[in-house]
């Protein structure tokens, strides 16, 4: 009688809340970061239960993978790795009561809203254009809400520029780490990772996948190479990297503007060659997202030097 | 109770857990973690609420919104971490000035 799926959902939701709570309350920040990575993996499971495979893939690559790598990398630079609640008891009580009350009110609103509501599922899954794209999420990202996606690429680019502006030099290749297995494993895994990225890009037209997931996998491949010390000095490919960073935004913009000369609205797609054009834009997006994520990971201040490590280990 | 509603409500709790943590902790890395948890909670609430009806088909608009959100969240976190490192490198410690004095 009991719906086992719902029991699983409840257990997963409770685990999510517990891990989230421990992430934010354990005094040891290293433990907090590791728990946050576990939180990302649990989020991936939640997306699968919510029938959102596209989101699940992005969460697995970014939420559980890249964000964790970024946080661990930043943590290595910090000497103060413990965090306590430094706040008076009276204020702590006030904050607890207010946030608990707000959480209660929001939950109550969610529970009492009528279950029937407008869904974009039907309008999107009956595409008016014969583009050959049948994955509704890709359709929303590249066709119906193309403007949003274009501006999102601009946001990503701004974040990269901001992170890189924070240090004086271009990021330098880090010394190869002392783990014997990392570099050989990275060499073996690299072709497989690139194949997965290419597959995700191609599959995104008809199945879960697309530029975002492919770009995330590409970025992860770059991070792996960097951690294994296999990336050459950035000075040798800085120009290519810059071109890769802007490729998504520029190709998207170019396609969006050029169609105007064919008498179409801005960011519209012509009736013919639609799929080829969308694939071209998506290839640019994949490159850009991959490069941006790698670049954000490489934006380490130049103070990160052997002396920093020596001081950290000595203290 | 549907799958969507379960995760939407979990999202609501997690969001305010993040708000709580953001207020009571002064260590900036902890605050970045709290913002990330708040982001994930928002995504759960968006997709969960879009799917709260029994047997509802997944809403591709919500999925696309969250997909872009995840990428923006990671880039914002990376920028925040870069700022934190710069603050530490400049001798500013791991908390904001007004919090250190309090």
- Among A51, A58, A95, the residue with its CB nearest the CB of B24 is A95
ipTM over 0.85: yes
Cβ neighbours of B69 in A, within 8 Å:
none
Q: What is the pLDDT of residue A262?
A: 84
For the beta carbon of residue A250, count every other beta carbon within 10 angstroms.
Answer: 15
A13/A19 Cα distance (integer angstroms): 10
Domain boundaries, chain A: 1-117, 137-315
The whole-chain average pLDDT of chain A stands at 85
**Rounded Cα–Cα distance for residues A160 and A156 (Å):** 6
Hey, of A8, A17, A48, A74, which one would you mutate to test binding to chain B, going by the most B CBs within 10 A of its CB? A74
Residues of A in contact with B66 (CB under 8 A): 52, 55
Residue in A51, A111, A204 to test binding to B, most B beta-carbons within 10 Å: A51
CA distance A300 to chain B (A): 7
Q: Say whether residue B39 is in contact with chain A using an 8 A CB cutoff.
A: no
Distance separating alpha carbons of residues B44 and B7, to the nearest angstrom: 6
Q: Tens digit of pLDDT per residue, chain B (102 long)?
A: 899 999 999 999 999 999 999 999 989 999 999 999 999 999 999 999 999 888 888 889 999 999 999 999 999 999 999 899 888 888 878 888 777 654
Strand partners for A85: B25
**Which residues between 59 and 98 in chain B have a beta carbon less than 8 angstroms from any beta carbon of chain A?**
59-64, 66-68, 70-79, 81-86, 88-89, 93-94
Measured between CA atoms, the residue of chain B closest to residue A297 is B78
Burial of A41 (0-12, 13-18, 19+ CB in 10 A): middle
A210: left (phi over 0), alpha (psi -120 to 50) or beta: left
Mutation for testing the A interface, residue in B2, B3, B62 having most A CBs under 10 Å? B3
C-alpha distances (whole Å) from B72 to each of A30, A40, A62, A171, B78 are 24, 16, 11, 22, 10
SS3 A28: strand
Quick one: how many helices (H) and strands (E) in chain A? 13, 0
Choose among A63, A103, A140: nearest Cβ to B40: A63
| Partner-chain contact B71 A21, CB within 8 Å | no
CA distance B61 to chain A (A): 6
Task: Give the span between the Cα atoms of B2 and A160, in whole angstroms.
Answer: 40
Calculate how close chain B gets to A145, using CA atoms only, in Å.
9
Q: What is the DSSP string of A72-132?
A: HHHHTT-S--B--B-S-HHHHHHHHHHHHHHHHHHHHHHHHS-S----SHHHHHS-SS--S
- From CA B71, how far away is CA A212, in angstroms rounded? 8
Taking the model in full, what pTM does it have? 0.89
Instruction: Select the more confidently predicted residue: A171 or B77.
Output: B77
pLDDT value, residue B101 = 55
B50 with A119: Cβ contact below 8 A:
yes
Read off the pLDDT of residues A183-219 as tens digits, 9 standing for 90 and up: 899 999 999 999 999 999 999 988 999 999 999 999 9
* CATH numeric code, B3-101: 1.10.287.3510
């Amino acid at each position: 009688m009991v719906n086992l799926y719902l029991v699983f959902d409840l257990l997963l939701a409770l685990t999510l809340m517990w891990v989230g709570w421990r992430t934010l309350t354990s005094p040891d920040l290293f433990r907090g970061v590791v728990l946050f990575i576990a939180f990302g993996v649990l989020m991936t499971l939640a997306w699968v239960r919510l029938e959102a495979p596209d989101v699940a893939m992005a969460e697995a690559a970014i939420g559980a993978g890249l964000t964790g790598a970024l946080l661990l990398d930043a943590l290595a630079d910090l000497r103060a790795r413990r965090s306590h609640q430094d706040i008076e008891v009276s204020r702590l009580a006030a904050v607890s009561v207010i946030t608990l009350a707000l959480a209660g009110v929001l939950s109550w609103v969610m529970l009492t809203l009528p279950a029937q509501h407008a869904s974009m599922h039907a309008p999107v899954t009956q595409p008016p254009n014969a583009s050959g794209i049948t994955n509704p999420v890709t359709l929303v990202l590249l066709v119906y809400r193309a403007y949003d996606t274009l501006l999102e690429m601009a946001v990503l680019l701004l974040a990269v520029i901001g992170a890189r502006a924070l240090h004086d030099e271009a990021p330098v290749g880090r010394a190869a780490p002392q783990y014997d297995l990392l570099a050989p494993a990275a060499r073996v895994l690299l072709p497989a990772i690139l194949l997965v990225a290419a597959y995700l890009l191609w599959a995104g037209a008809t199945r879960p996948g697309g530029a975002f997931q492919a770009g995330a996998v590409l970025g992860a491949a770059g991070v792996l190479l960097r951690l294994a010390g296999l990336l050459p000095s950035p000075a040798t490919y800085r120009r290519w990297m810059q071109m890769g960073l802007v490729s998504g935004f520029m190709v998207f913009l170019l396609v969006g503007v050029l169609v105007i000369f064919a008498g179409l609205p801005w960011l519209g797609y012509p009736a013919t060659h639609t799929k080829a054009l969308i694939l071209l834009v998506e290839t640019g997006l994949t490159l850009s997202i991959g490069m941006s994520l790698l670049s954000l990971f490489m934006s380490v201040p130049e103070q990160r030097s052997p002396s920093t490590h020596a001081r950290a280990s000595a203290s | 109770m549907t799958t969507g509603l379960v995760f939407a409500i979990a999202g609501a709790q997690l969001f305010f857990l993040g708000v709580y943590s953001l207020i009571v902790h002064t260590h900036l890395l902890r605050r970045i973690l709290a913002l990330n948890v708040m982001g994930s909670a928002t995504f759960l609430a968006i997709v969960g609420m879009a799917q709260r009806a029994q047997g509802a088909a997944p809403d591709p608009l919500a999925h696309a919104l969250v997909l872009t959100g995840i990428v923006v969240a990671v880039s914002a976190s990376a920028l925040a971490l870069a700022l934190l490192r710069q603050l530490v490198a400049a001798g500013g410690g791991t908390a904001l000035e007004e919090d250190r004095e309090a």
